[in-house]
Structure 1
Amino acid sequence: MKRRIRSIFWLMTICILGINAFQGYWLFTTYQLNRQQFRRTVQDAMWQAVQQQRLTDARVLLGHAPPTKGIHSKLFIRRFEEAGESERVFISQELDTLPARFQVLRDSSRRVVVSYRKQPSTRNAPNVPADSLAKRISNLLLLDWAKDAGVDLRTFAATYRSELTQRGIDADFRLDTLTIRPKRARDNVFIFKDLTAVSEKTDLCTTPIPINPVKNLFVQASFTTPTFYLLRRMGWLLGSSVLLLALTTGCFLFMLSTILRQKKLSDVKNDFINNMTHELKTPLATVTAAVEALQHFGALNDPQKTQTYLTVSRDNLQRLSDLVEKVLNLAVEEKKELVLNPEWIRPSELVNQIIGNHQVKADKPVHFEVDIQPGEEPVRIDRFHTTNAINNLIDNAIKYSKESVTIRITSGKQERVWRLSVQDNGIGIPKSYHQAIFDRFFRVPTGNLHPVKGFGLGLSYVRQVIEKHGGLIDVISEPGVGSEFVLLIPETGGDGQARVRKFSFPLFRTPSPA
């Protein structure tokens, strides 16, 4: 049974770990995909923001450009790759006033496209080719870039924020401008201007995009906390995954607890059957031996022997009847509630009567130490059940002790609560079993040996009686030292109205003897 439970435990553990690992890998992969998508989106937004900035500059130039007849400008720039090639362009162009209305558009390439539309006029306007018009606008932009290398980052940040919002991104960012001067070496030298250099701790940066190609001025956006932003956007996914993992792990733990509980019940059942078998076998064997003696050894011819054998048979049959009655009563008590018949009883009278009975029938030396005041105020309890409960405690103290036993009984009242303590110097109980000993059929494990007969019902009955009186019971025990059972019962506990609260547990402390 233990091997099977161990196999089930390891199998379930491997399954849970596998599910958790798979779920973690899936979440990590999803996060990486979202991070890549985030990087592509912010990069595209940066490119579109730069294009928007160029279009805005073009509109400004077209609306405010003065006549430039006679003005010549020769520039050298390095254009980005187009169609797999990079080329150098020399511009030497005379700029004239643009007499027509223009609409500035964007195409799919990295160029500014100007759509030309003639206005109806009575005068004959010269036809200006679109390519020539685009070249003029490009010249205006190039001249503007050549004159001014600065960038209005506040305006550009608003444009970039607008592009991000259109794509559903509201993460915080920082803009930096930098000059990248191409060199013959494979790596470029980064020279940061206008703003502080991008921190090495930045989680994510966009690729630098030229905002002024003439001055080699680039713009870059950095996102310092994209991880937190991405996790926040994955909130429902993370929440559902954590909930699923918690439910799965909880079910595993509940199932494991159920299996262990069932195993414990199975062990208790087997222990009860073994104890019951031993308890029933002893009187049956004794009666059988007495009957055989009467039948085969001529005991019938001796009246004295006959009487002795009959007395032994009667006593053992009575013992057998008591055992059966005890089990039947247990089954009945499980189905119906315990009924109390309360009456006012002085503790000293009750305890002295119980001690007298045990001194007569004890089969080993028993020494009682009683600390009860004769004039102690009475308590309202059920005499029958309370007597049986105290008898069970004293029986256990005698059975689970060595050759001789000393039992100390103390009684007293405090805060309208009757406190009774039964203390012995027996074998003691391990702390791990202090709560389990009050369960039905439970006995402290001793392997397959049963030196002391019993069913594990006595302490369960004691707790049932005490709790029916509205009281509490606790045990203080240590192996090799002894045990002390403390009962707390309200002064009028038999009426079923008063209750001892759990905060009264300091009353369990045994006062030191005077």
Structure 2
Amino acid sequence: MQHRIRIITWLLAACVLGINGFQAYWLCSTYRLTTAQFDRAAHDALVATVQQQLIAGVEDLKTQGFDLIVSGTNGPRVGPRRLVYASSVTVIPKDVSHQEAVSIGRHLARITIDDWRSGTHLSLPTLTHVYRRQLGQRGLDSVAVLDTFSIRPAGPPPGQSASSAGPLARFPRPTPPVLLNPKHALYVRAHLPAPTWYLWQRLGGLLGGSVLLLVLTSGCFGLVWHTMGAQRKLAEAKNDFINNMTHELKTPLTTVSAAVETLERFGLQADPAKVQTYFHIARTELRRLSDLVDKVLTIATKEQQALVLHPEPVHPAELVQAAVRRHQLHAGKPVHFELDLAPTDVVQADRLHLAGVINNLIDNAIKYSKERVTITVRSRRTAGGWQLTVQDDGVGIASGYQAAVFDRFFRVPTGNLHPVKGFGLGLYYVRQVVERHGGRIAVRSELGRGSAFTVWLPLP
């Protein structure tokens, strides 16, 4: 059984670790993919910005006025050298030949290319404004800074200036550079802040679902682990109960069998006094056997039915003194009681069950002790309640078992030895009664030095 539980536990642990590992790998892969998508979108936005501005510069040439000096048909050919922005326009005659028109178009294209290569018509603030608009269209954070640089050790061309390194410290994520000016080998790149909000928007739901799945699987594993532990403890308690029950039942049966065998061997002709003695022994053991069975049945019945209380004003000191007198007569060993009671204390409790609680605590203190025992019983009022402590100098309880001593059928494991008779029902009954009164019970014990059980009941 223990081997099967161990195998199931390891399999469950492997399943939980596998699920959590797969979730972690999937989240990391999704994070890397989303980050790459962010970088690609930021770079595409920069490329689109540069292309848009270059095209816009070419379009401006169609609408802006300029003087174009064309060579005559008979004179030497003079090609246009530059664009001169002016308010006047020289009109070309309509009867110009097709060859001359083509020549003019080629010169205009060359001038346009030279103007683009010089890069003087692109300004960094304009690029930044357009780039931020492109980022917004792609759902990215529009906060960005553009920076220009040259791959040659030449200064920037007129009208262009690189951003200072200071502001870029706030934007640690640069994009790949985009060619801005081929003539001067000038490039532009964007610097963006960490994409925290972008990643949160796209991964927040996945992360929340993964965390929820992790909590559910870990919780289920913990619940199964706890259940298996409880089942293991229950199995141990059951085996211990069966061993104790067998021992307790075997003793009276053996005694009765010996008495009956003696009567059969000697017959009714034996001494009548001895016959009566044997009959008395048989009746006593049978009564004890009946009490054992009744006790088990009573506990089983009380487990199915709620414990019914009949509260009344009770002086606990009287119940303690009565229990002390009874146990001094039947202890079977030297017992010394030290009482520190307040005779005027009154609690609202069920007299019968409260007496049962006190008797069980004192009985345990006597049974789980050495050849002689000193038992201290103290009571006092506390904030909103009344407290009773039963302390002994007996064998004590190991710390690993203290939380389970109030469980039904639980007894501290002793193997096949049964130095103390019982079924592990006394402290279970004590806890049931105390909790039904709205109180609580606690144990403080040290192995080899004794135990102290403290009962607290609320006052009306």
Is the TM value for this pair above 0.5? yes
Provide the rounded CA distance (Å) in 2 between the counterparts of 1:142 and 1:19: 62
Q: How does 1:160-175 map to 2 (within 5 A)?
A: 160-170=131-141, 172-175=143-146
CA drift at 1:193: 5.0
Q: Which is richer in strand?
A: 1
Paired letter, 1:2: Q
Within 5 Å, give how 1:69-218 maps onto structure 2.
Answer: 69=69, 93-94=80-81, 133=105, 136-143=108-115, 145-146=117-118, 149=120, 151-170=122-141, 172-181=143-152, 193-197=161-165, 204-218=173-187
Distance 1:449 1:129 in 2: 120
Structure 1 residue 24 and structure 2 residue 24: aligned? Answer: yes
Q: Distance in 1 between matches of 2:384 and 2:357?
A: 21
Question: What per-residue deviation string (whole Å, max 9, x for no partner) do you get for residues 263-305 of structure 1?
Answer: 2222222222221111111111111111111111457511121
SS in structure 1 of the partner of residue 387 of structure 2: strand
Note if 1:470 corresponds to 2:442: no
What secondary structure sits across from 1:259 in the alignment?
helix
Cα distance change of structure 1 residues 227 and 471 upon mapping to structure 2, 3 Å threshold: closer
1:461 lines up with 2:429 in the alignment: yes
Quote how far apart the aligned CAs of 1:423 are.
1.2
Contact in 2 for aligned 1:69/1:97 (Cα 8 Å): no
The structure whose RCO (Cα within 8 Å, separation 6+) is larger is 2
- Give the direction of change, closer, same or farther, for the CA distance of 1:37–1:288 in structure 2 (3 Å limit): same
CA distance 1:152–1:293, change in 2 (3 Å) = same
Shift of 1:216: 2.0
Q: Which residue of 2 aligns with 1:502?
A: none
Aligned equivalents of 1:344, 1:144: Cα separation in 2: 105
2:320 aligned residue: 351
Q: Hey, what does 1:102 align to over in structure 2? A: none
C-alpha change, 1:338 and 1:12, in structure 2 (3 Å) is: closer
Matched with 1:62 is 62
Q: What are the superposed Cα offsets for residues 150-206 of structure 1, whole Å, 9 maximum, x if unpaired? A: 8522211121122223333236432100112299xxxxx999952125969975433
Is the Cα–Cα contact under 8 Å of residues 408 and 423 in structure 1 kept in the other structure? yes
Any conservation in 2 of the 1:70–1:95 contact (CA below 8 Å)?
A: no
Classify the secondary structure of the residue corresponding to 2:389. strand
Secondary structure, aligned partner of 1:389: helix
201-210 or 286-295: bigger deviation: 201-210
Unaligned runs of 5+ in 2: 72-78, 86-92
2-side partners of 1:464 and 1:432: how far apart?
A: 22
CA RMSD in angstroms comes to: 3.2
- Give deviations 1:68-112, integer Å, cap 9, x for gaps: 4279xxxxxxxxxxxxxxxxxxxx7556899xxxxxxxxxxxxxx
Classify the secondary structure of the residue corresponding to 1:181.
coil
Look up the match of 2:414.
446
TM-score (norm 2): 0.86
Pick closer, same or farther for the CA change 1:469–1:248 going to 2, 3 Å.
closer
Partner of 1:36: 36
Relative to structure 1, the CA distance from residue 171 to residue 287 in structure 2 (aligned partners, 3 Å threshold; closer, same or farther) is farther
Distance 2:104 2:236 in 1: 99
Decide whether aligned partners of structure 1 residues 211 and 18 sit closer, same or farther in structure 2, where only a CA change above 3 A counts.
same
What TM-score results when the alignment is normalised by the length of structure 1?
0.77
Q: 2-side partners of 1:132 and 1:35: how far apart? A: 50
Alignment length (residue pairs): 442
Q: Which moved more, 1:9-18 or 1:398-407?
A: 9-18
Q: Secondary structure of the equivalent of 2:151?
A: strand
Does the Cα contact within 8 Å between 1:422 and 1:485 map onto a contact in 2? Answer: yes
Equivalent positions of 1:305-454 (< 5 A) are: 305-374=274-343, 376-415=344-383, 417-454=385-422
Q: Which has the higher helix share?
A: 2
Are 2:317 and 2:345, in contact at CA under 8 Å, matched by a contact in 1? Answer: no
Which amino acid is 1:207 matched to? P
**Cα distance in structure 2, aligned partners of 1:132 and 1:385:** 118
